[in-house]
Structure 1
Amino acid sequence: MPPEHAGRIFERLYRADPSRTRRNGGSGLGLSIVAAIVSSHGGRVELDTMQGRGSAFRVLLPTGSQSALS
């Protein structure tokens, strides 16, 4: 993924590859759904990307010892 897309990749309906459509590759909702679920559990999703090296996504969630109610 080109690094210039990194700031928008978690937006709903955003596709880094304009040639991908619902018909041949998805709706652009997957990463926004992941980010919403992770956020609802008090976590975050990180993206590390570099041209020619690929991309890595990391999901970070709080441990069970941290209370979401406090």
Structure 2
Amino acid sequence: MSMKLGNTLKRCRLDHDDTPQQRLAEAVGVSRQTIYAIEKGKIVPSTLLALKIAKFFQKPVEEIFFVMNNRV
């Protein structure tokens, strides 16, 4: 069984006053491209970055990031 990290980052941005990727990126100290890649599941954020994102949205990290189980 393989595991993948899923996220609700885009939904959080849209629910949080339509926060642009650029604004979130600046707030947490990464590029807009990094936020895009996280939203698309292309990269997994570091623990520190995940915590910064959760703090920005004032949500528990597990409301934004979660483990998805895939059967192989």
Normalised TM-score (structure 2):
0.30
Please state which structure has a larger fraction of its residues in helix. 2
Larger radius of gyration: 1
Which protein has greater RCO, CA pairs closer than 8 Å, 6+ apart? 2
